[in-house]
Amino acid sequence: MAQTNGAIDSANPHRERAVDSAKVWTTLITNTAYLSGLLTLDYSLKLVGSKYPLVALYTDSFPAEGLAALKSRNIPHKHIPYLLPKAHKDFTNDPRFYDCWSKLTPFSLVEYERVVQLDSDMLVLQNMDELMDIPLDAASAAGKGERVFAASHACLCNPLSKPHYPRDWIPQNCAFTHQHDTPERAQTEGMPADFGITMPNGGLQVVIPCAATYELILAALEEEKTSAYDFSDQSLLGDVFHGRWVALPYVYNALKTLRWEGVHAEIWRDARVKNVHYILSPKPWDETEEDMKKPGRDGSNEWWWTAQRKRTKDETARGIDDGF
């Protein structure tokens, strides 16, 4: 039975399932700049034989042509409110983080038994349906247990040396650095959730939706301390549920930067990665033909283009040719 309270009624007033499945993947979409990523993410889930559908969570800013693109491909979708904290946080250096608060919405989707939130700049390379069954706290724990959600650690290495990143974001404090000597173990285990700065990466979250847990999140969004959160949703999750989450191995949220020499190439194994995350800009879909020929191009981008070409070929055969 669906849970109800004031917070859920406001965040998720229409609790009909967008698709006939108790467990779903979801991804947030606010504009068409990421639409090619979302469509190829959906296609990649189907390519690897996932038995669970992807639901696109869209906000008011998502235009009609984007919604039409979802409908023409029979991608389930659900309108959600745009989530922001009460205290303003200046993300001028990283405007993408304004949207990221809304990635907390899956905690409110109580019409589902489990939701795995994926960023739309991801590409699934191997079936990872097992995430739908890993042990987490039941909704009855009300967000007070020790396994509230599951995610991979954030990488704290700041490989692009962005000056506005926190000073303690250095390799010595990164959970992945401490796995360099045990690369085989890193394929199947994450460092403990309470290790170091204890921040999850918000790109993939395994969630059992729960009204009481979402209430804790909304309460945090009302506090002034959110103005000090440098990474919006993942800063909040790491704070509110400090050390009380399940740390997944990197293979489920394989940040493309981990593959780089000098970052975490020691643990990266192409053949073991289940889901690659194209963090930072430019995205693969921003590449031009000239970019693809440049020396030093990120090799993982070609994985995305291989899936993209298959997708557009299949869609053209079905009469879908809208440029996305």
Domain of residue 59, CATH code: 3.90.550.10
Secondary structure letter of residue 251 according to DSSP: G
- Is 321 part of any domain? no
**Any domain includes 151:** yes
Does residue 225 belong to any structural domain of this protein? Answer: yes
Distance, in Å, from the CA atom of 175 to the CA atom of 244, rounded to the nearest integer, reads 16
**In 192-297, where do the E strands start and end?**
204-207, 246-248, 254-255, 275-277
Q: What integer pLDDT is reported at residue 6 of this predicted model? A: 60
Residue 311 lies in a domain: yes
Residues 6+ apart with CB under 8 A from 260: 159
Tens of pLDDT, residue by residue, the chain (324 residues): 445 566 666 667 778 999 999 999 999 999 999 999 999 999 999 999 999 999 999 999 999 999 999 999 999 999 999 999 998 888 877 777 788 999 999 999 999 999 999 999 999 999 999 999 999 999 999 999 999 999 999 999 999 999 999 999 999 999 999 999 999 999 999 999 999 999 999 999 999 999 999 999 999 999 999 999 989 999 999 999 999 999 999 999 999 999 999 999 999 999 999 999 999 989 999 999 999 999 989 999 999 999 999 999 999 999 999 999
Give pLDDT, residue 4: 53
pLDDT at 173: 96
Residue numbers of the domain that contains 295: 6-315
pLDDT recorded at residue 188: 98
Could you tell me if residue 320 is inside a domain?
Answer: no
Q: How many H-runs (helices) and E-runs (strands) does the chain carry? A: 9, 10
Give the position of tokens 């796995």.
179
0.75 cut: is pTM over it? yes
Q: Is residue 324 part of a domain?
A: no
- Model pLDDT, residue 269: 98
- Is-contact 233 103, C-beta < 8 A? yes
C-alpha dihedral sign at 304, 70, 32, 237: negative
Residue 256 falls within a domain, yes or no?
A: yes
Is 175 inside any structural domain?
A: yes
Nearest to 248 by CA among 157, 159, 128: 128
Split into its structural domains, the chain has a count of 1
Surface-to-core class of residue 233, CB atoms within 10 Å of its CB (0-12 exposed, 13-18 middle, 19+ buried): buried
Residue 143, phi-psi category: left (phi > 0), alpha (psi -120 to 50), beta (remainder): left
Q: Quote the pLDDT of residue 1.
A: 41
